Structure 1
Amino acid sequence: MGDNVNPLLAPALRPGDVIAVVSPAWGGVGELPAATGRGVAVLEGLGYKVRVMPHAAGRSQWEWVSGSAEERAEDLLAAFADPEVRGIVCGIGGDHSAQLLPLLDMDLIAANPTVFCGYSDITSLHHGIHRATGLVTFYGPALIPQWGAVGGPFGYTVDHFQAVAGRAEAAGALPRADVEVHDGDFDAAEATGTPLRRSPSRPREVLRAGRGTGPLLAACLPSARHLLGTPWQPDYRGRVLVLETPEPPYDLAQADADLTHLRNAGGLDSLAALVLCRPYRFTAADTDRLHQLVLEHVAGHDYPVLARVEGGHTDPLPTFPLGVRSTVDGDELLFEEPAVVTGGPGPGGS
C-alpha cells in the first residue's frame, strides 16, 4: 500500500486536556521513577491532566521492553480510543517499537486522531501510523528525557511543542536555540540535582544551497532503517526529510551503514530537501566527517541539504510535525501549515 496522501489532523492539545503516557519500547517509566515523576509534574503544571497507561511502568521477562508487544499495543490503542485523551506522550525511546506495528488497528487510530509525540525509536510508530492513516504525528519531546529533565525542560522545548501541537496555525520558522547539550552523565545530574551541562550552539550550516518544499518526514536514522522493505516504510519521495542520530556507541561507521541502506532503498533519491540535526555527543571533527559522508551519499542529486539544525537527541528538542508542508530555504526550516485543528479532527491542507 502507498502512503495516505491526505493529512489527518488531531484536535489541538490545550491545557485541561488529558495526556496519556505510554512505553512502546523500553520501560523507563518504571525504571526511572524520579524522572517520570518530574515529567508528570511539569505537564500537570502546564495545565494538562496526565494518565499513565497500565503497562507503561511495567517490565517483561525481556528487560529491554516494558511488556509484551500485545500489552504495549493495548496501551497505545486504548489511549487512541479514549475520547478523553487528547495527547499521547511516549515515556522514552528504546529499540523495539516496531514490534507493535502488526498489532495496531490503524482504522481505530484514523477514527480517533490524537496528538502523538515521541522521538528516537518512536520513529517506527510515527512512520507506520502516518503511512497507514495520514495522521500528522509529532517527532518531539518525551516524558523522561525532556519533560522530566533535572532542572526542568527547556523553555524552547515547551514553547515549540505548544506552538506546533497546541495551536491551529502554521508554526512558521523553526526557532534557533542558543545552547546545545552533549553532556550524557545522567546519573551525576540525578545525584546532584544539577542540570546537564550546556554549551553554546554552533550555527546551522548549509551543506548544499537551495530551496525545497514538501511534506515533512522526521526520523532517527537507525530506527528508520528498521522499516525499510516492510509494509510500514513511508514514501520518501518529495519529502523534506529530517534525520538525526542517537547516543554513543552510535558512530560514523554505523551512520555510513544506515545511510547506505537508506540510499539503496531509494530513500535519498527524490527528496525535496534534507535536514540534519545536530549529532548527539559527536565531536566537531566527527560532525564535519558525518556531513561529508552525507554529501557523498546524496551526490548526484540537487536538493538542498541543511545541517546542524535543532532537534533529535541533542537538546533542546523542538517538535517536528510529520506530514505538514515544510520548506527549507537557505538555513531556515519553515512549517507552512497547521499541524492540528480547532475542535474536532479534520483533514489537513495540501
Structure 2
Amino acid sequence: MPSYSEQFHAGQLIFAEGDAPTGAFLIESGHIEISTVQFGERRILGELGPGMLLGEMAVIDDSSRTATARALSDCQLTRIDAGQFAERLATADPVVRALLLSQLSRYRSALAKLTGGCDPVAEIALPGDRDVRAIDKIRLESELRAALERNELEVRLQPIEEIESGTIAGYEALIRWRHPQRGDVSPAEFIRLAEETSLIVPIGDYMLEKVCDVLVKLRDRGRKPLPFIALNVSARQLDDDALVDRIIGMVRARDLPPSRLKIEITEGLVLDQTRIAPLLERCHAVGMPVALDDFGTGFSNLGPLLTLDFDQIKLDASFVRALDRPRGVAVVGTVVAMARALNSDLVAEGVETREQRETLHRLGCRYAQGWLVGRPQLLDQILNG
C-alpha cells in the first residue's frame, strides 16, 4: 500500500537526473536543493521550500528527470501520483494543454543551454505554485486516495421511516471522512474532488462493498424484515459499463435479496436517458429498485418520467420546508398524486418537525427521511440501538 506522506533526511537523495518520472511531490516542510550537471560540472539551480511543487514537469510530459533533487534539511513531502496529473491534463481545455506543453518544451530547451544569465528557480516552479487553493486541492486529493486505501472512509446510515407504521423501513448510505488534521471534511468538497477524476469509481465500489456487508450483518442479527439500503450513483460511475455487473455480483456473492439494495440517481442525470434507461432495465431484470433522487431541485422537465420507470421518487427537502404554506402543501400534494399514478413510492427528504410528518401523512406520502426520523449513524449504533 503506497504512502502519500514521505520523510527525507538532510542530505538524502529524492531523485536523480535521468530518473523515470514516477511521481511529483508537494513540499510540506523543509528545503530542497535542485542541481544539474552542465558541461561536466555540477551546477546548483536553486532551492525549493514549503508550498512548492517538485518534479512535476517530468511527470506532465513523461520525460526523464532533468535535474537532481536532494534534501537540504529534514523534509516532509506529499507524493502526487503521475496519474493525478495525467488525468487532469487529459481533460483540460485543449488550448490550455497546448500552452502548458509548449512552455515545458521551452523550459527544457532553456535548461539545456543554461548559462549564468538566467534565473533557474523561476523556471523550475510552474506559475500558480503560490496559489494556495490549488495547492490545497492537490494535497487533499492525495490524502483522500490514502484514506480510501487505508479503509478510513466511514459509511453512515440515515434511517428512512414508513410514515403509516412508524417503523424504519430502510436507510440511505452516506460517506464521511474524518481527516486526522482537518477534522470532518465536507462530503460536498471531497465528493466533488473525487468526481473530477476517476477516484469516484473506487470510492463507489468501496461504498457498495460496505453497504452489502451492512446488509449481511443486519441479516445475521435477525433483522426482519431486512431493511433496504439506498446507495447513490454518480455520473462518473455511470460511464463504467461494468458498474451494474459489479453491483449484481456483490449482492449475489453474499446471497442477499437484490430488492434490499436501492440505487439512487440524481435528478440531473435523468436528462441523459441513453445512460439511465439501460441501468433501469438491468436493475429491474434482477429485482433491484432504482430511485430518482433530489426531485424538484431545478429540473422542471417531467419528460423523462414518461419513459423512465423509477420505483421511488425522493422529494427534495426544499418542498418539505414549504409545507407551512398553503401553496407548498398544494405542490407536495400534486407530487404525491403524480408518484402514485406512476406506481412509485415517495420519500420526503429533510423532515425535521412533527407537523411536517403529519402533513405528509395526510397527503399520502409513504416515507420520511430527515433529522426528525434520525441523523446518520454508524453501523454499531444501529445494531446496538
Same fold (TM over 0.5): no
Bigger-Rg structure (1/2): 2
- Structure with more contact order per residue of length (Cα contacts < 8 Å, sep ≥ 6): 1
TM-score (norm 1): 0.31
